[in-house]
Chain A
Amino acid sequence: MIQNYTDSILAVRGLKKYFPIKTGVLKKTTGFVRAVDDISFILRRGETLGVVGESGCGKSTVARCLMKLYDITEGAIYFNGKNIANFNDSKLLEYRMMVQMIFQDPYASLNPRMRVKDIIGEAIRVHGLSKNRSWKEDVKDLLNNVGLRESHMARYPHEFSGGQRQRIGIARALAMKPKLIIADEPVSALDVSIQAQIINLLDRLKADFGLSYLIIAHDLAVVEHISDRIIVMYLGNIMETASDKDLYNQPAHPYTRALLNAIPDVGKKQKGNRRMLIKGDVPSPINPPSGCCFHTRCPDMFSLCSREKPKMVEISKNHWVSCLKYKR
């Protein structure tokens, strides 16, 4: 599905991440949790790519593989055309400067024993990123950029609300002057009213700093406004990938349709048929279903689904689906 990576900042090919399950006294590996099972995608420069899927479908694992927090089992990740697995220490430092992460839980992602200025400024100080001025000046600028005040510098994280904490987390990521920000569920821990503020902030920063985003969410409504393209994941696999508009207007995969149907719309009357909602839980990634991994919950399931693993099919321009209905 990837033709060219010339305009891509990030390209992922056949990424797999299996976590071994060790049991018994001898810690013998008895199985694997297939958190991410063979996914490929590209992220173009200046693009915002949304990744959605239910809890436990491997979204966060992808993010952590991209950040080199996990060693990948198979596949390759290319940053500006270079495989990040081959980076030596100085290259890795450079990579870490370029690619930063915003974490899911604003309560766990800030060190409770550090003041805001140290949380944001530590990287500037350690890596000597401020030029010709005090690192504190940089911190002040960053705080202003994310909508906080200079007077917040000497405070501790517990004195802030969830939304403010997430802003601190964003400022900390920006301190490295990155080109790509990976946001792992940046708003799922926040109130709905605050969610919009943070999403708007991310959108504004993108323009101000020339960023590219990979935004992970479990809620399509969150990524709807901000994403150019969306990847729908299920059980470690990509189900569908399409531009924002295509995905909303012509969802091709039954799972995408189910996700869209799950967005609550208050006040609107349900027209015509009832909502199509899928039942049950995500199957265990230790023993994923045979064939198409979604067939156990798919409303459109037919006999072939449990036997054959679907391949990615391009049903219209840049709209790829992994479903046997579209088999050619």
Chain B
Amino acid sequence: MSSETIMTVPHVNQKKPSSLFNILRKMWDLKLGMMGGVIIVGMLICAVGAHLIAPFDPYEQDIMERLLPPSFLEGGSAKHLLGTDSVGRDTLSRIIYGTRISLIVGISAVLIQVVIGVFLGLFAGYYGGKTDSAISFMVNVMMGFPFILLAMSLVAVIGPSLQNIIFALGITGWPVFTRVTRVETIKLKECEFVLCAKTLAFSTMRILLKHILPNILPSILVLGTVEIARAIIRESLLSFLGLGIQPPTPSWGMMLAEGRDYMLSEWWLAALPGFAIFLSALGINLLGDAIRDIVDPHMRKS
């Protein structure tokens, strides 16, 4: 051995250059998840305790105090923190009550989507062949069909009501879940632990539900949160078009629609419910990312 080899062992800095960055990043990730959690918890409190929190009855009209700006703007009063709408209803109270509708619609619609989508995806992915072709064809037809047209015609036929909105959103939104589930199932069914389940003579149902489904649940969960946010936005869209929640029930989308007529002068009428939609979607998405990290057993212990 030459003497050089001994000499030229460089002093290696034990710390990885990115360690500080990683720590900061983890804190940041955690903070974002916390933020999402705080937003969601806030939404849940608003939804459950709307009648306790809201300062006014959301249906109470006061024609003398119509179109008041929020209190932080010039001309606003402390009585109506976020101002009033065109018939003098308190905007803050209506937004708080609107949380109820949004959460109920978002969560219920996504539950329907998950049940339909995941089951079809599992079958398509696991059985392959003709089953897969048939289900994939259905998915492609649903995906190719403009959502708004489908939902509009559905609601037009069955009539606009809370249950029907949920039904319409649920029945139109499942293809995303089928796609994700199908691909993951195809990937997993060749996995050795699934082959092993076959050699242990487990039934197909057991293999699908106990061996494959738990391994795609994180993806479903993350996708589910994104889809809740999307369902909330779509409910707003339908309500905006007058096919969703019917007045005077407070819904963010409908408030947005009502505010449209005053967009140039009283812009906050549209901006405030719009901000509520944005905030809830953001919160749900942030929480979804955090949940994905938590449910992954690899992440849990490390």
**A interface list, Cβ under 8 A from B:** 64, 67, 69, 92-93, 96-97, 100-101, 103-105, 108-114, 122-123, 126-127, 156, 158-159, 169, 172, 176
Q: How far is the CA of A62 from the CA of B297 in the complex (A)?
A: 34
**A113 (CB) vs chain B CBs: closest residue:** B214
Binds A, one of B16-24, B106-114, B194-202, B261-269: B194-202
**B interface list, Cβ under 8 A from A:** 191-193, 195-202, 206, 210-211, 214-215, 297-298, 301
B195: contacting residue among A69, A113, A122, CB under 8 A: A69
Contact A156 B199 (CB under 8 A): no
Q: How far is the CA of A138 from the CA of B201 in the complex (A)?
A: 19
Contact A105 B200 (CB under 8 A): no
Residues of A within 8 Å of B201, CB to CB, are 92-93, 96-97, 123, 127
Residues of A within 8 Å of B199, CB to CB, are 67, 69, 96, 100-101
Contact A159 B196 (CB under 8 A): no
Q: A113-B214, A113-B297 are in contact. Are A123 and B192 (CB under 8 A)?
A: no
Q: How far is the CA of A119 from the CA of B202 in the complex (A)?
A: 12
**A178 (CB) vs chain B CBs: closest residue:** B199
Instruction: Select the residue from A105, A111, A156 with max chain B CB neighbours within 10 A.
Output: A111
Top 6 A-B pairs, shortest CB-CB distance: A109-B192, A96-B201, A113-B214, A103-B192, A108-B192, A111-B193
Residues of A within 8 Å of B206, CB to CB, are 126
Contact A103 B196 (CB under 8 A): yes
A158: contacting residue among B193, B200, B210, B298, CB under 8 A: B298
**A110 (CB) vs chain B CBs: closest residue:** B193
Q: How far is the CA of A103 from the CA of B195 in the complex (A)?
A: 9
Residues of B within 8 Å of A69, CB to CB, are 195, 198-199
Residues of B within 8 Å of A92, CB to CB, are 201
A112: contacting residue among B200, B202, B210, B297, CB under 8 A: B297
Q: How far is the CA of A109 from the CA of B211 in the complex (A)?
A: 11
7 further contact pairs, Cβ within 8 A, besides A111-B214, A126-B206:
A108-B191, A109-B196, A111-B215, A113-B297, A122-B210, A158-B298, A169-B196
Residues of A within 8 Å of B210, CB to CB, are 122
Least CB distance from A213 to B in Å reads: 16
**A67 (CB) vs chain B CBs: closest residue:** B199
Least CB distance from A119 to B in Å reads: 8
